[in-house]
Amino acid sequence: MTIFQASDLAAKRTEVLQAARDGKAVIRDPQGQGLVMLPENRLQNLEQYNQWSLHLERLRRIIASGRRPSIAELGELAWLRVFDNEDLESFCEDLSDQLIACSADEDYSQLEQMIKEWKVTAGQLEDPLRKRILLHNGVDPDDFDDAKPFMEQDNVQ
């Protein structure tokens, strides 16, 4: 990290910009406050990490209370309302893992993909028929007959 003075913005502008491109440049203003320049995508990554970390913490606290979260409590995550608490715990685990991986990779596209997939699943569970199909516990054996060899079928008719 390189620290510059405000006057360096004019006198050493290429060095200031290069330091910012390389990760971070700190500029001290005349009052001594540090101002930071960094690549825009890095700032966006930090903002996403902050936003989803707060969502994760809030959701974990709601789940820990042992009750179903209300739509108001879910807020921006109201699309999660179709999931039971066990599914919400799975969402929290997925989100936590993605936040760690994306932070390490400095690439949040996988987090965005994971959120999209959960939203698609939530959308499918909004439809009662699809929900019944998706959450059906197995197959009823009475719905099937034993298959007969093709030659036996001709003789039966």
Taking residues 77-87, what's their average pLDDT? 94
Q: How far apart are CA 107 and CA 111, in angstroms?
A: 8
pLDDT-derived band at 59, boundaries 50, 70, 90: very high
Q: What is the architecture of the domain spanning 2-38?
A: 3-Layer(aba) Sandwich (3.40)
Query: What does pLDDT average to over the chain?
Result: 86
pLDDT confidence of 140, banded at 50, 70, 90?
low
Where are the CATH 3.40.1620 domain residues in the chain? 2-38
User: pTM here?
Assistant: 0.72
Summarised one tens digit per residue, pLDDT across range 31-57 is: 888 888 888 888 999 999 999 999 999
* H helix or E strand, kind and range, residue 49: helix 40-64
Q: How far apart are the first and last CA of the chain?
A: 85
